[in-house]
């Protein structure tokens, strides 16, 4: 039998067609919901079916990411969010409808995923605050192969999640959208690959404008009101900083130029991979005073395209590392930025691969941790696969 199939334009445009020239696709199994994925060139359905994804935040981007992952047929999905559905979410958060207003986002998302989208995935949800209930995040992360970080708490939170991913050796991916812009970050979690902290700074989270400093009274209440820093641990960090500065009272200027840089330094130390799994709560980190969606706007187009591109980035990465072809040596773009604005008649995209920064505190400490593991084996604290705690 002549097995040649006519495939238009395959070689001319180098499109990823299913059918390699001269081959037929495998026979279709009746009732196989994943057939059209299975026959896709270089797509490994079996690899997808082994994945356990942790989706942090099921808002504008997280709800569509969850929908995509479930439709692809991953093994398990864990959804975590502390919010309730609001009317202003409904223009873009596709897992909720008008009758869901006031309901828990994760519970509603899990219900609608099960009713409409699920094909084979185990769906779990946690209505909780990731910052206040960090130990819950750690426990779920230990069971996951990837974290999709969609929580809009700020750079230090991203730093903490990245540290956790690097410590556990799992993939960190985040997507953020605003107005017509989409930003995607992917870090493998592998020892010699770059991480979020190799290329991103957290300095801005510790800086205050003169306008903000006008209402400065005492340190704890200022930090609580302006960046949600609270809890026992934050009090002891404040105490330590004041002791080092050898003072009890500080002016707004001293607070900004001396105190906060010291607080930042201590925080970076506390969030290192060797400690990141040990906290019950990380309320001692600052929430960014960044612009909320209310000031820049958001819509279904940017959320849905952004989510699909985030899932695509992860999927392409997964397929790439398992594929042993020549282009495996081609560098993978960790950071991608897309602007959907069409005022000038075109989309704009940019992206590049990130080199590992040899001075990165997260990467260098993970390396040290792994080296130490071979030397001293900690007397089992039951954390299979986790980092040794100190
Ligand atoms: Zn790094």
Q: How large a percentage of the chain has pLDDT more than 90?
A: 67
Same domain, 214 and 289: no
* Residues contacting 166, CB < 8 A, separation 6+: 172, 187, 189, 195, 273, 362, 363, 366
Examine residue 125 and state whether it is found in any structural domain, yes or no: yes
Ligand 1 geometric centre to CA of 191 (Å):
9
pLDDT digits (tens, 9 = 90+) for 95-131: 999 999 999 999 999 999 999 999 999 999 999 999 9
Q: Could you give the number of structural domains in the chain?
A: 2
Statement to judge: residues 316 and 291 lie in one domain: yes
Q: Measured in angstroms, how far is the CA atom of residue 156 from the centroid of ligand 1?
A: 14
CA of 99 to the centre of ligand 1 (A): 44
Distance 384 CA to ligand 1 centre (A): 24
Q: Which of 312, 305, 240 is nearest to 37 (CA)?
A: 312
Do 145 and 126 sit in the same domain of this protein?
yes
Report yes or no on 143 lying in a domain: yes
β-bridge mates for residue 184, sequence order: 175, 336
Report if residue 73 sits inside a domain: yes
Of residues 112, 92, 119, the one with CA closest to residue 305: 92
Distance 114 CA to ligand 1 centre (A): 37
CA separation for the pair 144, 103 (Å, rounded)? 27
Cα 206 to middle of ligand 1, angstroms: 20
Query: Do 54 and 130 lie in a common domain?
Result: yes
Same domain, yes or no, for 254 and 319?
no
Range of the domain at 249: 206-275
Q: What is the pLDDT of residues 323-373, one digit of tens each?
A: 544 455 566 788 888 888 866 666 778 888 888 999 999 999 999 998 887
CATH number at residue 90: 3.40.50.720
Neighbouring residues of the ion ligand 1, judged by CB less than 5 Å: 195, 197-198, 360, 362-363
- Same domain? For 303 and 164 the reply is yes
Residue 378 lies in a domain: no
CA of 198 to the centre of ligand 1 (A): 4
The CA 356 to ligand 1 mean position distance, Å, reads 6
Is the domain of 268 the same as that of 314?
Answer: no
Asked whether residue 178 falls in the same domain as residue 293, the answer is yes
Distance 194 CA to ligand 1 centre (A): 5
- Domain-located, residue 337: yes
The alpha carbon of 249 and the centre of ligand 1 are apart by a number of angstroms equal to 36
Q: Are residues 116 and 146 in the same domain?
A: yes
Residues 202, 191: Cα–Cα separation, whole Å: 22
Say if residue 169 is in the same domain as residue 213.
no
Question: What is the Rg, in whole angstroms, of the alpha carbon atoms belonging to the chain?
Answer: 23
Gap from CA of 367 to ligand 1 centroid (Å): 10
Residue of 338, 352, 336, 334 whose CA lies nearest to 301: 338
Enter the tokens of residue 288. Answer: 């960014």
Residues 268 and 129 in one domain: no
pLDDT in single tens digits along all 390 residues of the chain: 444 444 444 444 455 554 555 667 778 899 999 999 988 877 899 999 999 999 999 999 999 999 999 999 999 999 999 999 999 999 999 999 999 999 999 999 999 999 999 999 999 999 999 999 999 999 999 999 999 999 999 999 999 999 999 999 999 999 988 888 899 999 999 999 999 999 999 999 999 999 989 988 889 999 999 999 999 999 999 999 999 999 888 999 999 999 999 999 999 999 999 999 999 999 999 999 876 677 788 889 999 999 999 999 999 899 876 554 445 556 678 888 888 886 666 677 888 888 899 999 999 999 999 888 766 544 443 333 333 333
């Amino acid at each position: 039998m002549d097995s040649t199939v006519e495939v238009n334009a395959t070689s001319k445009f180098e499109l990823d067609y299913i059918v390699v020239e001269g081959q037929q696709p495998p026979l279709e199994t009746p009732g196989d919901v994943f057939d059209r994925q299975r026959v896709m060139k270089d797509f490994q359905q079996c690899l997808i079916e082994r994945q356990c994804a942790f989706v942090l935040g099921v808002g504008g981007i997280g709800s569509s990411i969850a929908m995509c992952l479930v439709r692809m047929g991953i093994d398990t999905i864990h959804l975590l969010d502390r919010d309730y559905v609001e009317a202003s979410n409904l223009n873009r958060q596709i897992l909720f409808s008008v009758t869901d207003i006031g309901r828990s986002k994760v519970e509603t998302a899990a219900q609608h995923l099960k009713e409409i989208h699920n094909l084979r995935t185990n769906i779990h949800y946690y209505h909780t605050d990731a910052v206040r209930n960090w130990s819950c995040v750690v426990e779920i992360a230990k069971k996951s192969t990837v974290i999709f970080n969609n929580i809009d708490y700020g750079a230090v939170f991203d730093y903490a999640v990245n540290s956790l991913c690097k410590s556990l050796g799992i993939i960190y991916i985040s997507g953020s959208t605003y107005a017509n812009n989409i930003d995607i970050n992917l870090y493998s979690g592998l020892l010699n690959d770059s991480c979020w902290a190799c290329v991103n700074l957290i300095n801005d989270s510790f800086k205050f404008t003169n306008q903000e400093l006008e209402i400065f009274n005492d340190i704890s209440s200022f930090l609580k009101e302006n960046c949600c820093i609270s809890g026992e641990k934050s009090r002891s960090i404040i105490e330590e900083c004041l002791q080092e500065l050898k003072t009890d009272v500080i002016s707004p200027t001293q607070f900004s130029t001396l105190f906060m840089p010291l607080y930042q330094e201590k925080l970076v130390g506390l969030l290192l991979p060797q400690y990141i799994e040990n906290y019950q709560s990380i309320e001692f980190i600052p929430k960014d005073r960044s612009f909320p969606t209310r000031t820049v706007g958001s819509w279904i187009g940017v959320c849905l395209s952004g989510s699909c591109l985030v899932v695509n980035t992860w999927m392409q990465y997964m397929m790439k590392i398992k594929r042993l072809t020549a282009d495996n040596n081609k560098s993978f773009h960790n950071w991608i930025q897309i602007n959907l604005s069409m005022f000038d008649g075109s989309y704009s995209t940019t992206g590049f691969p990130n080199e590992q920064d040899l001075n990165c505190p997260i990467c260098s400490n993970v390396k040290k941790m792994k080296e130490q593991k071979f030397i001293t084996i900690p007397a089992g604290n039951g954390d299979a696969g986790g980092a040794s705690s100190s």
